[in-house]
Amino acid sequence: MDGKRVLVTGGSGFIGGAIAASLRADNDVRTLDTDPDPPAGVTAIEGDVRDREAVEEAVADVDVVFHQAAIVSVERSIDDPNETHAVNATGTLRVLEAARRHDARVVAASSAAVYGDPEGVPLAEGARLEPTSPYGLSKLALDHYLRLYHELYGLETVALRYFNVYGPGQTGGDYAGVIEAFLRAARSGEPLTVHGDGEQTRDFVHVDDVVRANLLAAETDAVGASYNVGTGDSVTIRGLAERIRRAVGSDSPIVHGDARDGDVRHSRADISKAREELGYRPSVGLSEGLETLVEDRRVSSASQNR
C-alpha cells in the first residue's frame, strides 16, 4: 500500500501505532487520539472519536481510515458500560458518518469478544454472536454498523475481529495484555497471577500479523464483511504462564486468583475466510513471538543499565 492518505484513529495506541508506523514511509499518515504520541513521521491530530468536529477534520480528504480507537478492557466495560458504548459504538458511528461524507474506506477493529462464550471452537464468522460483556456488545455494534453502512450507503467497510493481540509496545492488563503482564512479573520475580483455574484457552496473534491483516483489508475487493484475525491455534493461560516463566528463566511462582466477570472459557479462531478472501496468513508463531519479546526486554534492560 503506497501513495494513500490515511487516518489511524487511536494511532498512539498499541495496534494503531503499529499500523501508522508500517505505513508512514510510503503514505501520508495522520492519527486521531486524545493523547497524541504517534510514531515519528506521522501527523497527529488531538481529538476524541466521540467529537463530530474532530472526526470530521481528521477524516477530511483521506482514502482509508483504520479505526482502532476504543476502550478495550472487559473489566472496565463492566465498571463503566456507558463510556464503553459511547467510545466504541457511538465513536464508530461518528467515524462512519464522516467517512461516508468523504468517501473513505473504513477498516475497523472488532473483537473475538462478539462471540461470547462459545459452545465449541474454532470459531468461524458465522458462529453465534452472544457477547458476555459490554465491551463485546459494543464491538458487535461496530460490526453491524460497518455492515449496514456498506449495504445502505455503499461505503467500503471491513471489520476485523481480533483475537488476543500481543507484541512490542503493549502494556499489561486484561487478557489482551496477559503476555506483557506475565513477562513483567517473571522478569521482576513477582508471582504470575492466573485468574480462575488456568485451563481457559486463548488464540494469541502477533501485532505484526494484525498489521498485515489491516493492510490486506485496506485493498481487498471483499468489502462489507467481517473477518477473524487470529492464528487458528490456542494455549491455556496456565500453559502460557509456564512458557513465559521458562523463556525468561524465572523462578516466579504461578498463583491463581478469582475468575473474572465477562471472561469466556475458550477462544480460537477459524481463519479460513480471512485466508481465502483477504489472503491473510499469520507468520509469527507464539514461540517465536515470545522469544522475540524476551530478547527485546533483555536488550532494553541492558541499554538502560549502561
Distance, in Å, from the CA atom of 65 to the CA atom of 109, rounded to the nearest integer, reads 11
Task: Provide CB contacts within 8 A for 16, sequence distance 6+.
Answer: 8, 9, 10, 31, 33, 66, 68, 69
Residues carrying an active site annotation? 135
Quick one: cell of 303? 541499554
Q: Count other Cβ atoms within 10 Å, centred on residue 35.
A: 8
Task: Supply φ then ψ for residue 73, to 5 degrees.
Answer: -90, 125
Task: Provide CB contacts within 8 A for 229, sequence distance 6+.
Answer: 160, 161, 162, 163, 205, 209, 210, 213, 269, 271, 274, 280
Q: Count other Cβ atoms within 10 Å, centred on residue 103.
A: 11
Longest dimension (CA), the chain: 59
Quick one: cell of 146? 460497518
Residues 67/110, Cβ–Cβ less than 8 Å: no
Report the candidate in 51, 66, 57 with the shortest Cα–Cα distance to residue 16: 66
